[in-house]
A and B are shown apart, each in its own frame.
Chain A
Amino acid sequence: MRTPSNSSNPLAIRCEGIGKCYPIGSRERYRTLRDTLADFVRSPLRHLSAPSAELWALRGINLEVRRGEVLGIVGRNGSGKSTLLKILSRITKPTEGRAEIHGRMGTLLEVGTGFHPELTGRENIYLYGAILGMAHAEIARKFDEIVEFSECERMLDTAMKHYSSGMYVRLAFAVAAHLETEILLADEVLAVGDAAFQKKCLGKIGDAASRNRTVLFVSHNLLAVESLCSRAICLHGGQIVLEGPTAAVTSRYLQNWMPKFKEVFHPDPGSAPGNDYLRLRRASIHPQYGDQQERLTVRTPLVMEFEYWKLSPHTVIDLGVEVINEHGVNVFTTGRLGSPPAAAGLLRSTCLIPGDLMNNGSYRVHVTVFLNGNAGVGYFEDLLAFELDDAPGGPRGNYNDFWPGAVRPAMEWKTEHLEPLPAPLAGEYKS
């Protein structure tokens, strides 16, 4: 954790009343000329007046970031985090308001933007560097360092289409990590790569901060935000709803802005959410035995139930369930794909989660709908949310302090007495 930056530091970013409005429907895939002509014929004056429906993705954002500060931005999907970064990085223009950017800025909205599969790794390093705004001389100077960081030395002169996805990401991040701008905007860049590489990337962003660079860091991974950022803001519905020291913001975010529903129910098939393959009727998580309204603890055996109308008679529909903890870490993914086909109709799938498996905390559940055991054809984000309270007993025994870990499974432990103390140790212990 870094100390909150001194407010007397020079200003890096200042936003005054930034807002971004999308006329609803303008984000449709594309318009044809015919649509526009038809609209014009139908109501020639309409586009002179204000559009009837609009969506403010962001509104009234006032923000000051000082040099050397690492600001975390949290919020649920659609809260406006990415829009804010896109406005600050000048990718899109705000509808209202004004911002000042003091210093050279680099943007990392996605790793590897502009990589070309036909070019070699070496060629792509130069190309990607140029896209990020690095000068040729700068890339040339850091070339060896970049290659070393990427761990892709052997493949350097191979076309990138032959790279594995892991190598692709490593090379991309290696270039991006060597972008030395005074201000860095980073969005979810750590959502990729294996754990070891993610750690390396976090370290690199931490380095940037310690060298008096300003970083705006957007992530769903609250652990990463907590470890990197001195201050955080939380966006909700396009507005800043929380602002302050990171730990305070993330904990209040978890309490107030995360969904908490142990059950969803859509009795009407006509309005139930879903797609061409399935409509969801009910999803719930509850204790396997006893009182259904009882508080859930780490020791409670749980049941997840999903009821859905299966529309297609000849396909196999399966559910893949992801359980995500409060730090944005996927604790486990479960599902038994390729189970036998069933006729169309109302189906129920249940999944038992044994007690003494998960740690205490808040959890969210995403569900993916799989077709014929392999293709994902639907996704319910944050379908369920629940909390597991701590409880004595189980793996914890009577120890009642903080119990770290992503999970808290009951493992089999055994301790045996092998032999009495040898001579030099016998009598050492004085009570």
Chain B
Amino acid sequence: MATTQTAPEMKYTVIDSRSRDGLRMLLAELWQYRELIYFLVWRDVMVRYKQTVLGLMWAVLQPLIIALTLSLFLGRLAHLSSDGLPYPVFAYSAMILWQLFSQALTGASNSMLENERLVTKSYFPRLVIPIAAVLASLLDFAVALVVLVGFLAWFRVAVSWTLLLLPCFVLLTVVIASGVGFLLAALNVRYRDVRYTLAFLVQFWFLATPIAYSSSVVPQRFRFWYGLNPMVGVVEAFRWSLRGAGPAPLVLLAISCAVALLLLLIGLAYFQHAENTFADTI
């Protein structure tokens, strides 16, 4: 939409109906507006827990209760395999990663609509909004992660150097959520159907990801197709880094990375294509 050029005397902004911004331009502008991203994240975090009694406790309670329920019904009663981890650790670790993913995805998808006035009344790179929504979900994850450390100690899980790779898998989760989130955020501006589809999508995706069960239960001949869900590789790798033993899920992880990158590119491309008309259609 706009490019900043260096003219002999000074820099100036050009608004041109025909030009399109490149990726480098976008990154430069995002960097310029980094403080706004920070403030929007801060706002989301502040607002989320104002007027709640339990505050940040909610970040832990939700995955904890679901993990305990799963432990009781699937671990104790159904005796599902948990890949060498105590079942509660097995379920809770995947749950907090899933919570990060679903919160980031939902937050990003609804972010443009929730910030409608900002979009129609002020200018900044539009991508700032879904990025801030994704980043805001990291705080809950950080709190839940602290509790995971407690779990590991309580169940005396022997950790190894593989734990150091854990941030990479968190990053990968954020990338997947961003890619899909950018796409849905832009679609949501034009098609309000997205809002209704989203809850269903997240639920379906949850079942298609090895959170309550281990991916080893999936028959070999379906594993490639199953692995195309990028969250499969991330969750497996996340658990592997906690367990610190056995072979790393390298193939699944490779597919996951490739799909994540592809989703990010698609999300960015569509968002950039659609953002020119956001203010007119929202």
Chain A residues at the B interface, C-beta cutoff of 8 Å: 19, 22, 26-27, 30-34, 36, 86-103, 105, 107, 109-110, 113-114, 116, 118-119, 123, 126-127, 130-133, 135-136, 159
If A93-B1, A118-B51 touch, does A100 touch B12 (CB 8 Å cutoff)? Answer: yes
A32-B191, A100-B12, A127-B43 given; name 4 further pairs at CB < 8 Å: A87-B15, A114-B118, A130-B35, A133-B124
If A131-B124, A132-B122 touch, does A94 touch B15 (CB 8 Å cutoff)? Answer: yes
Pairwise interchain contact B121-A91, C-beta atoms closer than 8 A: yes
In the assembled complex, the Cα of A340 lies from the Cα of B10 at a distance in Å of 68
In the assembled complex, the Cα of A31 lies from the Cα of B188 at a distance in Å of 10
Pairwise interchain contact A86-B279, C-beta atoms closer than 8 A: yes
21 chain-A/chain-B pairs, Cβ below 8 angstroms: A33-B193, A36-B191, A87-B15, A90-B15, A91-B120, A91-B121, A92-B279, A92-B280, A93-B277, A94-B15, A102-B12, A103-B12, A105-B13, A107-B123, A110-B117, A123-B43, A123-B46, A126-B39, A127-B39, A130-B38, A131-B36
Residue of A nearest to B44 (CB): A116
If A119-B47, A123-B46, A127-B43 touch, does A109 touch B122 (CB 8 Å cutoff)? Answer: yes
Q: Does B62 have its Cβ within 8 Å of any Cβ on chain A?
A: no
Pairwise interchain contact B14-A98, C-beta atoms closer than 8 A: yes
CB < 8 Å neighbour of B117 from A19, A107, A113? A113
Kindly list chain B residues whose C-beta atoms are within 8 Å of the C-beta of A87. Answer: 15
Pairwise interchain contact B14-A99, C-beta atoms closer than 8 A: yes
Pairwise interchain contact A32-B122, C-beta atoms closer than 8 A: no
In the assembled complex, the Cα of A131 lies from the Cα of B277 at a distance in Å of 20
Pairwise interchain contact B123-A90, C-beta atoms closer than 8 A: yes
Residue of A nearest to B1 (CB): A93
Pairwise interchain contact A22-B280, C-beta atoms closer than 8 A: yes
Pairwise interchain contact A136-B192, C-beta atoms closer than 8 A: no
Residue of A nearest to B194 (CB): A33
Kindly list chain B residues whose C-beta atoms are within 8 Å of the C-beta of A132. Answer: 122
Candidate in A86, A100, A116, A131 with the most chain B CB atoms within 10 angstroms: A131
Pairwise interchain contact B118-A113, C-beta atoms closer than 8 A: yes
Looking at the assembled complex, report how far the CB atom of B72 sits from the nearest CB atom of chain A, in whole angstroms.
37
Residue of A nearest to B9 (CB): A10
In the assembled complex, the Cα of A130 lies from the Cα of B43 at a distance in Å of 11
Kindly list the 4 A-B residue pairs having the minimum CB-CB distance in the complex, ordered from nearest: A130-B39, A101-B13, A99-B15, A113-B121
Q: Does B276 have its Cβ within 8 Å of any Cβ on chain A?
A: yes
Looking at the assembled complex, report how far the CB atom of A163 sits from the nearest CB atom of chain B, in whole angstroms.
16
Kindly list chain A residues whose C-beta atoms are within 8 Å of the C-beta of B15. Answer: 87-88, 90, 93-94, 98-101
Kindly list chain B residues whose C-beta atoms are within 8 Å of the C-beta of A133. Answer: 33, 36, 124
Kindly list chain B residues whose C-beta atoms are within 8 Å of the C-beta of A127. Answer: 39-40, 42-43
Q: Does B160 have its Cβ within 8 Å of any Cβ on chain A?
A: no
CB < 8 Å neighbour of A94 from B17, B115, B118, B192? B17
In the assembled complex, the Cα of A118 lies from the Cα of B46 at a distance in Å of 9
* B70-128 interface (Cβ within 8 A of A): 115, 117-124
Residue of B nearest to A111 (CB): B121
Pairwise interchain contact A100-B50, C-beta atoms closer than 8 A: no
